[in-house]
Amino acid sequence: MNNVVLIGRLTRDPDLRYTQSQRPVCTLFLAVDRGYSRQKRAEMESQNQPTADFPRITIWGVQAENASRYLRKSSQCAVIGRIQTGSYKDNNGNTVYTTEVVADRVEFLSSNNQGGTSYQNNSYNSDNFNQDTYPQNFNQQRNYNNQAPNNNDDDDFFDDDFEELQDDGKIPF
């Protein structure tokens, strides 16, 4: 199984390009914290050792265009994808080995738009993304996620199950 889930911040603005067949491809680099404890982090930093990794992320299709449009340097995002390795010969004839993450899904966790709309917690999956129906589907999904189902019994669903506890001011642990 080849599955990667990363959350990090962009180290620079995304780079959008198009293949000869006009297929969009976006490249970005994420700073992903290694999750050291405060003590271990201080120790690593004092020895000039890295405390984060900076994987190269490749995004294809409409998702690539959206990432380029809405993400900027220091934006936080989540990437779900797979690791892909490769190699090529440089100008000196040396073999250079590469490792990258090919994104299947990108979620925008924060945005640094100045004076614009914030696109937080929106995910774009190129496999089922349809630009023509996006605005309607997004609003329908958003309403569905933020509202309870429309059943007649929902108004008193929690009435019988919960009672308020008295707070004695003590910490429970």
* DSSP string across 47-111: TT--SEE--EEEEETHHHHHHHHH--TT-EEEEEEEEEEEEEE-TTS-EEEEEEEEEEEEEE---
pTM over 0.95: no
Secondary structure letter of residue 164 according to DSSP: P
Give dist(CA 79, CA 63) in Å, integer.
11
Q: Which two structure tokens, joined as six digits, stand for 95?
A: 């073999």
pLDDT digits (tens, 9 = 90+) for 74-126: 999 999 999 999 999 999 999 999 999 999 999 999 855 543 333 333 444 44
Residue (of 67, 74, 80) closest to 30 by Cα position: 74
pLDDT digits (tens, 9 = 90+) for 14-73: 999 999 999 999 999 999 999 999 999 999 999 999 999 999 999 999 999 999 999 999
Q: In this structure, are strands 56-60 and 52-53 parallel, antiparallel, or unpaired?
A: unpaired
pLDDT at 72: 95
pLDDT in tens, 119-166: 333 444 444 444 443 444 443 443 444 444 444 444 555 555 555 666
